[in-house]
Amino acid sequence: MTTFQDDIEAVQALKERYGSGWDSINPEYVARMRAQNRFRTGLDIARYTADIMRRDMAEYEADSSLYTQSLGVWHGFIGQQKMISIKKHLKNTNKRYLYLSGWMVAALRSEFGPLPDQSMHEKTAVPALIEEIYTFLRQADARELDLLFTQLDEARVAGDDTAVDFIQSRIDNFETHVVPIIADIDAGFGNPEATYLLAKKMIEAGACALQIENQVSDEKQCGHQDGKVTVPHEDFIAKINAIRYAFLELGVDNGVIVARTDSLGAGLTQKIAVTNAPGDLGDQYNSFLDVEEISEADLGNGDVVIKRDGKLLRPKRLASNLYQFRPGTGADRVVLDCITSLRNGADLLWIETEKPHVEQIAGMVDRIREEVPDAKLVYNNSPSFNWTLNFRQQAYDLLVEQGKDVSAYDRDNLMSAEYDDTELARLADEKIRTFQRDGSARAGIFHHLITLPTYHTAALSTDNLAKGYFGDEGMLTYVRDVQRREIREGIATVKHQNMAGSDIGDNHKEYFAGDAALKAGGKDNTMNQFN
């Protein structure tokens, strides 16, 4: 027996228990409402989606072609429409997640207005957005099921038993729009206790996976900006532990921690690590510092020195009171960061790179897997990369390596439109098309995400609409480029009243008031023009 039928029978039993006072309660209506509200709390969502992620991670380990993907969203509606689109075009949500981007929270959801990605936004904005996204996804469930219930009622009235059975099977096997969210907790917004408290709020809102980076909280920068400052491993491990404790306290035992390292582009540290013995973790961290050997006589006022192998070493200290790492040590620090994170509770890795290059990523992952064979990455297919230029340069270098004539190309000017219809551009575009597949097969990338694609798509579509609507084309711009396409391509938002829940409300009115219900969806509703 299905859950739907179980609910009908359970409510029928309640009706019999409570007697005539419940005569107006229809058990099937209750079952419908329960089906439309499968997830009662954010913790229900977090536990459900954590299990999905763990299953997907195991499947990826067995077959690297089974990678996962997500797009960053900054509003519940954007996340909802993304998942509706995925179900419409791809028929299921398998291995398709959502990403909550700290960058977009800062830029679009802060009460201060647009902010850079430097952890200046209200930390409460992050769990609030998680809750908002899942509210919209649950509403998408309710809407789609409501459409099925309406079809079921119509089939029953028509006496079409075949249609009734078919629609009922779709209801019984309904796939939810609720999918895992990987949520950005930045550098933890403070000390480990602050990280723990925020993590709890994010998990309670529904997050099953939290991504945390090894930058300092008070000097945090976007991964694609300069001036990044890392923390010693012990500091980072404490925050990983804080997140794990938050998951376990709330009963989300399968919660996923993504440890991000910014060391490839971060040349600074705020602290010299504590070390108790040569070769320990603190000593390894300090070994990357840019130092000069001095004698005791060379010590100046306030100098900080490290003693190693009987030598006095003075780390290079900047006017900002930060210490500098030796140039060229980024990849080595990344490898150490990743191995250390995995050995101390992280489940997945995130390596911020300066360009999308499969072999560069793979070179670091190969070294990590020598120590942790099942290491897996979350990778940021970032809009901060100039993908066209980067891959055309990679294609250029490949042609040179193959001994091909590249005299027709200027490597420093490959972004130019004059190259769009060339062998090189086609080769580059094909490498972009297969980047996810290639990166997952070669570089251990379990999850591909784009942090802020919908920031850019919203800007582009608004620009196109504004350009025409306020220009000579006027209303034609909206009708031709938006509404006509919505109708012909079956975009759900063309019936925006339905999308906002008007039909659900009408059905609820009928549940509650019967024939006395005043409905919005009558013959005079203009949405009927889109039937």
Contact 97, 68 (CB under 8 A): yes
Q: Would you call 458 exposed, middle or buried from its count of C-beta atoms within 10 A (0-12, 13-18, 19+)?
A: middle
Type of residue found at 295: S
- Cα distances from 388 to residues 83, 380, 468, in angstroms, run 28, 16, 28
Give the separation between CA 44 and CA 205, rounded to whole angstroms. Answer: 10
Q: Which of 84, 212, 222, 346 is catalytic?
A: 222
Torsion-angle region of 227 (φ positive above 0: left; ψ -120 to 50: alpha; else: beta): left
| Dihedral sign from CA coordinates of 347, 50, 70, 210 | negative
DSSP letter at 420 equals T
Measured CA angle at 387 (ends 368, 65), to 5 deg: 50
Q: Is 222 a catalytic residue?
A: yes
Give the separation between CA 72 and CA 129, rounded to whole angstroms. Answer: 12
Give the separation between CA 228 and CA 220, rounded to whole angstroms. Answer: 7
Residue with tokens 């039937």: 531
| Residue 171: closest CA among 163, 179, 183, 182 | 163
How far does Cα 318 stand from its chain's mean position? Answer: 36
Strand partners, 258: 211, 348
Sheet containing 306-308: give its strands across.
291-294, 311-315, 306-308
Q: Would you call 529 exposed, middle or buried from its count of C-beta atoms within 10 A (0-12, 13-18, 19+)?
A: exposed
Strand partners, 378: 350, 447
How far does Cα 207 stand from its chain's mean position? Answer: 10
Type of residue found at 508: H
Reading the block at residue 301, the tokens are 């006022």
Type of residue found at 51: D
Give the separation between CA 397 and CA 95, rounded to whole angstroms. Answer: 34
Give the separation between CA 255 and CA 257, rounded to whole angstroms. Answer: 7
Reading the block at residue 450, the tokens are 């784009």
- Cα distances from 161 to residues 6, 35, 63, 146, 158, in angstroms, run 21, 22, 43, 19, 9
Instruction: Return the beta strands (E) in 1-76 as ranges.
Output: 68-73
Question: Known catalytic residues?
Answer: 222
